[in-house]
Amino acid sequence: MLPDGLAADRPARSDRAYVTLVTNADYARGARALVRSIVLSGTSADICVLHTDVADRDLIPLRALGARCVRCDLLPTTAAFNASHARDALHGRAAFTKGEKPPFHTPLDNFAKLRLWQLDYARVVFIDADALVLQNVDKLFDYPQFCAAPNVYESLADFHRMNSGVFTARPDRATFADMLAQLDVPGAFWRRTDQTFLQHYFPDWHGLPVFMNMLQYVWFAMPELWRWQDIRILHFQYEKPWQDHAKADRLRPLIELWQAHAGDGRVPDSRTLQDPA
């Protein structure tokens, strides 16, 4: 049974689940492509969409693909915490200088991701809604908590930081309670919201290969690292593939792959695509 603050539209179908988070209509649009990509990977695990107060019309396409939708409240954080992590306050204090966050990016909502530790699954693989699964990654369920790939997209200098777009977890309500106790403390400021907090909470995080969370900027910033044959999960950090944005032409092959997953037609085998020159 789920605790107060969570409400599911159906029971779990497995003790293992891919989980994503949807906080508005734009991320629901992204999640539709993600969920379809997971289904096409041939997984036997459940697919769970944690969502905040999102219109039902935006969730219907996810349910149609077999996803379990679990409504969740935002975390019960204090007014001071909420103010310091509001979009304008956070971007003013810790501006994103490497790329542009879209207007629908709501940093405070990111912390709702922690509610996956309250879910009724034994093992979870979390994947951000702006990602695609290109090859089956069910083996990640056998990885320990907490595994994540490094936040590499510009240089190897970022190898020491993790990216929370993909990680392995073991839901546990005691862990969730302990997280809340450490999250909202006087003066707390988590520069990159859930990502900074999770690296603090799991300082000995286990590293996944970058191919398990390949960040889109690698395509043009570190092309020597890009091999379609090896990439399991593609993550559209910063600008989203359903937006018009300044880097769209440079990322065109990746955007076209996302568009194929977002539709209903044939999806190309990513392993046959041409690597960057």
- What's the whole-number mean pLDDT along residues 246-266? 97
Q: What is the pLDDT of residue 5?
A: 87
Q: Is 130 exposed, middle or buried (0-12, 13-18, 19+ CB in 10 A)?
A: buried
In contact, 198 and 220? CB cutoff 8 Å? no
pLDDT number for residue 107: 83
Q: Are 29 and 104 in contact (CB under 8 A)?
A: no
Please report, for the chain, the start and end positions of each structural domain, with discontinuous segments joined by +: 6-272
> Which residue, among 196, 165, 161, has the nearest Cα to 85 in the 3D structure?
196
Condensed to tens digits (0 to 9), the pLDDT of residues 115-150 reads 999 999 999 999 999 999 999 999 999 999 999 999
Confidence band (pLDDT; 50, 70, 90) for 14? very high
Is the pLDDT at 208 greater than 70? The verdict is yes
Q: How far apart are CA 231 and CA 206, in angstroms?
A: 19
pLDDT of residue 277: 78
Confidence of residue 205 (pLDDT cuts 50, 70, 90): very high
Q: What CA–CA distance (Å, rounded) separates 166 from 242?
A: 20
Average pLDDT, stretch 42-57? 97
42 phi-psi bin (left φ>0, alpha ψ -120 to 50, beta other): left
Question: What's the distance, Cα to Cα, between the start and end of the chain in Å?
Answer: 51
The backbone torsions φ and ψ at residue 71, rounded to the nearest 5 degrees and listed phi first, read -75, 140
How large a percentage of the chain has pLDDT more than 70? 94
Query: For residue 97, what pLDDT is reported?
Result: 55
Model confidence at 86, in pLDDT bands (50, 70, 90)? confident
Q: What is the pLDDT, as a whole number, of residue 59?
A: 98
pLDDT at 95 over 60: no
Whether pTM exceeds 0.85: yes
pLDDT average, residue stretch 142-161:
94
- Give the mean model confidence (pLDDT) for residues 5-27: 97
Give the per-residue pLDDT at 176.
98
Structure letter (DSSP) for residue 153: S
The whole-chain average pLDDT of the chain stands at 93
| Rounded distance between C-alpha atoms, residue 84 and residue 25, angstroms | 24
20 in Cβ contact with 129 (< 8 Å): yes
**CATH number corresponding to 6-272:** 3.90.550.10
Whether residue 72 contacts residue 52, with contact meaning beta carbons closer than 8 Å, is answered with yes
pLDDT higher than threshold 70 for residue 9: yes
